[in-house]
Amino acid sequence: MKILKIIGIIVAVLVVLVLVAGLIAPKKFDISRSIITNAPAETVFKNISHFAAFNQWNPWSKLDSTMVVTEEGTDGTVGAKHTWKGNKKVGAGSMTITKIEPNARVEWALDFLTPFEAHNQAYMTMESVGGGQKLTWGMKGTMPFPMNAMMLFMDMDKAGGKDYEEGLANLKAMCEAAPRYDITEVDWSAKNCLAIRKVVGFAEMSKFFGEHYGKMYEAILKAGAKPTIPLGVFYKYDEKAMNADVAAAIPFEGKNVLAKGYSNLNLPASKAYLINYFGDYQKMKPAYEAMNEKLKTLGRENPDMVVEEYVSDPMSEKDTAKWNTKIYFFVNNTAAAK
């Protein structure tokens, strides 16, 4: 009985100590780390606002190769949800995007289910510094009484900070290794073109251009006019149908040109956003993604029209890495073809 009494006293003292510690220990916490990356804002923002990228740079993915990850909603938008379930090292839980400020801030509701239940807020901020971006990644929340007593005996900032430092280092490397696409606002000069427009399947696009450019070039020369750089004018992409409403066009200068099977296309002067792309025509997707991220910062989801200007001649330049395509994105309807 005496032993039980002593144990009871010890337990009571410990309970009192925990309660007292809970009264004096802080309840709120905010763990964060920062890093500077020398990468374009659009590239950085895409990698912090999409779970597809998060799966590549976060420091926890490597802790469990069999971890089950599921995604819900539209990635990169408010409401998108990332759920994971893994071993004891990673536990189980979910992240849900709750706020997005393009090229500035992303916030997530961070809900842990195992090995312990907790509901916190994670965030990532961007700030332009010189030619790069300062990133701050953190988590904040409230530890309920009396569990907050643990904050007197463990350094949460030190313990969690290591993971944030590792994750930011991974993110920095990922952003700086990504292809760079400088996006500039330019003045598009008016152009009169000989063109043919139709809906073409993605797989038939090269054949479509190849079939008509030569014929149009000859027609322009025959009319006594001067052909310039050939264009691909894209009015609409249909990813589901795998086709595009597109015109193969060759601008010309001098005399008017009329040719059977072709029409005249006027592309008026306008402002446009330009990416100067070098590489294979089949590998342009990252350039388009970079521009789409830029358009989102302008409050636009899609361009009104896209024009690809094929500066290089694939017949004379065999090295695809040197193929130069100027990609123009029009967002104000002013360059809509007539």
Residue 34: which CATH number? 3.30.530.20
* 127/206 same-domain check: no
Question: In this structure, are 135 and 190 located in the same domain?
Answer: no
Residues 188 and 57 in one domain: no
| Same domain? 164 vs 30 | yes
* Confidence category of residue 317, pLDDT binned at 50, 70, 90: confident
CB of 166 closer than 8 Å to CB of 59: yes
Does residue 10 sit within a domain? no
In angstroms, how far is CA 171 from the centroid of its own chain? Answer: 13
Q: Are residues 155 and 256 in the same domain?
A: no
Range of the domain at 314: 183-330
Same domain, 202 and 118: no
Least confident of 186-195, 224-233, 319-328: 319-328
Q: What is the mean pLDDT of residues 306-335?
A: 85
Q: Is residue 127 part of a domain?
A: yes
Reported as a pLDDT band with limits 50, 70 and 90, residue 336 is very low
Task: Tell me if 316 is assigned to some domain.
Answer: yes
Q: How confident is the model at residue 143 (pLDDT cuts 50, 70, 90)?
A: low
Percentage of the chain lying above the pLDDT 90 cut: 55
The verdict on 172 and 269 lying in the same domain is no
Higher pLDDT, 148 or 199: 199
284 shares a domain with 205: yes
Q: Which residue has the higher pLDDT, 148 or 126?
A: 126
In a domain, 2, yes or no: no
Backbone angles phi, psi at 94, to 5 degrees: -155, 155
Burial of 114-141, coded b for 16+ CB within 10 Å and e otherwise, reads: eeeeeebbbbbbbeeeeebbebbbbbeb
Among 129, 156, 177, the domain boundary falls at 177
CATH number of the domain bearing residue 247: 3.20.80.10
Do 132 and 147 belong to one domain? Answer: yes
State whether 192 and 266 are in the same domain. yes
Same domain, 63 and 129: yes
pLDDT digits (tens, 9 = 90+) for 254-292: 989 999 999 999 999 999 999 999 888 888 888 888 888
Average pLDDT score, the chain = 85
CB 63 within 8 A of CB 90: yes
Region 113-118: what's the mean pLDDT? 84
Q: Which residues of 226-241 are buried (b: 16+ CB within 10 A; e: fewer)?
A: ebeebbbbbeebeeee
pLDDT of 152:
46
Give the C-alpha separation, 55 to 69, whole Å. 9
pTM assigned to the model: 0.62
* 167: in domain: yes
Choice among 105-109, 116-120, 147-151, 269-273 with the minimum mean pLDDT: 147-151
Could you tell me the end-to-end alpha-carbon distance of the chain, in angstroms, rounded to an integer?
Answer: 99
In a domain, 99, yes or no: yes
Number of domains into which the chain is organized: 2
Question: Do 123 and 199 belong together in one domain?
Answer: no
